[in-house]
A and B are shown apart, each in its own frame.
Chain A
Amino acid sequence: MCGIAGLYLKNPERYGELGRLFCPMLEEMSDRGPDSAGFAVYRGAEEAAAKITLYDPDPAFDWQALAEAMSADMGVPVSVERLSTHAVLHAKADPAEMRAWLERRDPPLRIMSAGRSLEIFKEIGLPRDVLERFGAAQMSGSHAIGHTRMATESAVTTQGAHPFNTGDDLCLVHNGSLSNHHKVGDWLTRQAGIVFQTENDSEVAAGYLTWRLREGASIAEALEAALSDLDGFYTFAVGTKDGFAVLRDPIACKPAVLAETDDWVAMASEYRSLAGLPGVEKAKVWEPKPATVYSWGAA
């Protein structure tokens, strides 16, 4: 139960403004989700390096030592960049291999995201503080998706915060409440080998899409299939390496607004979140129809 905001820049000339435009959008959603906040930013896809975003609450955690150990095992240079409680590891490697190496580590580290352009940052606290802590306003990139959370049936922890990432470069945020996620999650775990880190229904939705994509579906096809496999009330915003998509359930109770100009596509739980975007007064503004997939880019 929460607020969602997503911004997908169609015009690469605007990439430098991503963080500056996106932060106020997410802050506007603070009332809807005061418990925790998180955001995904897609940047640097052209560098062709793999990225893993990790979390550890210990401010003295030795990320450099971790990078060196990974580098030694995998035989490639691994660089590390610390942002508050998070760190991003970069390496010319397969993100899945990096993930697997990290999952083998004991004790396991919390993996926030893996991919080639996706980085996910999330923390407990008010959205404004969370964004500031990671310097989100200064970030550039192609698209960003964020979430403010009012925890429902799982704990208020960094882990329970959105967005969720379960496969390379895929991330999902969710406003609503699924009603069959235990069953779907169990099937994905047993039959599809998807590893979940939380009890959260939204992570199951992310895992479901990851599985569909792995089976060869496009994100639009995966979301189409989700309509019959995921039950409950949801508004999803989904990011991929170079795409952005939105889906509401067939009853569509949870709010969602979309706006589009030549430069950008933006989505949020409430219009107020979009009201400050440049050119919004001339944008096409609409509320996504129930059970209808909207997608942009290579989604």
Chain B
Amino acid sequence: MEKLDLAELGLRAVNRRLQGREGAEETAFEVTGLKGEHAVAAGLMSPISVTLKGHVGYYCAGMNKQAEIVIEGNAGVGLAENMMSGTVRVKGDASQSAGATAHGGLLVIDGNASARCGISMKGVDIVVKGSVGHNSAFMAQAGRLVICGDADDGLGDSIYEARIYLKGEARGLGADCVEKEMRAEHLEELAGLLAAAGSDADPKDFRRYGSARQLYNFKVDNVDAY
């Protein structure tokens, strides 16, 4: 395992090393001296494991491919935005737009996620062990968002084909988001996601939400929703 001190090396050098652009091949890294720096471990492209010892700023693990990244602290805006594959886990809380537009991989938030968690998600799986802020899964296109706590207003607003599993209460559902039947395949899918995230929550305690598909085409009857 290789140790990198960001405060000493600077962001450029740390990211170049983690992206495999510099130095000998190495599969495990530990980064210290983070101090809320932005774009830490962004653009990683190989199956390495990275532990970030502290708080990170915006866009940590942005566009991640294959890497397994653990943040031992809180994460700022846009955690794992546009992630393609791999795993990102934050042990603290995540700020707004966690997992935004992410196409794949698994994002686990041990604490709470703030507003717009999973906005425009395109295939990623997100498991939040705490609660999520308003407009989570806004315009979510594909993938699964699992919320073990509660969801604030506007959950799943204008959602497409993503699925939401919610254990607690939704303060309000967004336009075109409705509760749907929890069938056997959903219980099984959810059990797999909870296990992957290391949660012992019981799938039977969750409800499923998705798109009513009423806003998919422009219609005069929908005018209030636009």
Contacts and interface: CB of A to CB of B under 8 A. Distances in A.
Contacts of A252: 115, 134
* Interface of A (DSSP majority class): loop
A272 B95 contact: no
B96 interface: yes
A272 B115 contact: no
A290 interface: yes
B95 A257 contact: yes
B76 interface: yes
A164 B193 CA distance: 49
Contacts of A286: 93, 112
B48 to A, nearest CB: 25
Nearest to A255: B77
Given A28-B36, A285-B93, A270 B114 contact: no
B32 to A, nearest CB: 14
B55 interface: yes
A128 interface: no
Contact of A275 (B55, B58, B95): B55
A34 to B, nearest CB: 15
A287 interface: yes
A289 interface: yes
B176 interface: no
A253 B77 CA distance: 10
Given A255-B77, A290-B134, A272 B112 contact: no
A275 B36 contact: yes
A275 B56 CA distance: 10
B115 A271 contact: no
Interface residues of A, number: 15
B36 A287 contact: no
A271 B76 contact: yes
Contacts of B152: 289
Given A285-B74, A286-B112, A272 B55 contact: yes
A255 B96 contact: yes
Nearest to A273: B36
Given A255-B96, A270-B76, A271-B76, A289 B134 contact: yes
Given A270-B58, A275-B36, 16 more contacts: A28-B36, A252-B115, A252-B134, A255-B76, A270-B77, A271-B55, A271-B57, A271-B74, A271-B95, A272-B55, A272-B57, A285-B74, A286-B93, A286-B112, A287-B114, A290-B153
20 contacts: A255-B76, A255-B95, A257-B95, A270-B36, A270-B57, A270-B58, A270-B76, A271-B55, A271-B76, A272-B35, A272-B37, A272-B57, A272-B76, A273-B36, A275-B35, A275-B36, A275-B55, A286-B93, A287-B96, A289-B152
Shortest 5 CB-CB contacts between residues of A and residues of B: A272-B36, A287-B114, A271-B74, A275-B55, A272-B57
